[in-house]
Homo-oligomer: A and B are copies of this chain.
Amino acid sequence: MAHIKLPEGVPGILGPMAFSPATAKPLNELAEILLRAANSLTQGERELIATYVSSENDCYFCQNAHGGAAAHWLGGNEELVQQIKRDFESSPVSDKLKALLAIAGKVQKGGKQVAEADIARARQNGASDKEIHDTVLISAAFCMYNRYVDGLATWAPADPAVYRENGQRLVEQGYVHSTDHLAAKAGD
């Protein structure tokens, strides 16, 4: 049971977002810009970074919700999503994305963990200042979203089908409208 009274049957971050629409607005706008706005990193790459950080933070809901979105952007490649969480260094993604995932992993542990060598590796593999900036902020933001979800002990569905469906909805509709279907459901 969640630590505070949240709407029943509403999964993960959507419960606290329904509880507090005022804070939900900037939280969703931030996710929309970081994960979906025009960027030299693809949406799939950015969702993989979000998924990896959520996995490192052991947040079941977020790693599956964003893993679901990542898999959709990657043509349904759920195995790649699992591989990124298990050991991204041996996965078939680009050397640039590996370097950015390494930075994201450092940020997850703490901002000061990011070393000059991590930045140098990213640059050697072609990462721009904006890509490094966005990777740091995606990782930092998921250290927030993950704590918000688990710090309130929200409910996470166990059924993988829920995250496939949710991932498809995120790909189609984005984050700013992520709670619209709840409003529609409440109005049934």
Contacts and interface: CB of A to CB of B under 8 A. Distances in A.
Interface of A: 3-5, 16, 19-20, 22-23, 25-27, 29-30, 33-34, 37, 57-59, 103, 106-107, 110-112, 114, 116, 119, 129-130, 132-134, 136-137, 139-141, 143-153
23 contacts: A3-B114, A3-B136, A20-B130, A20-B133, A20-B134, A22-B33, A23-B33, A23-B137, A29-B29, A58-B110, A106-B151, A114-B151, A114-B152, A132-B152, A133-B152, A136-B148, A136-B151, A136-B152, A140-B144, A140-B147, A140-B148, A143-B143, A144-B144
User: Chain A interface mostly helix, strand, loop or mixed?
Assistant: helix
A134 B19 CA distance: 11
Contact of A30 (B27, B58, B136, B143): B27
Copies in the complex: 2
Nearest to A62: B111
A20 B137 contact: yes
A106 B27 CA distance: 21
A103 B3 CA distance: 11
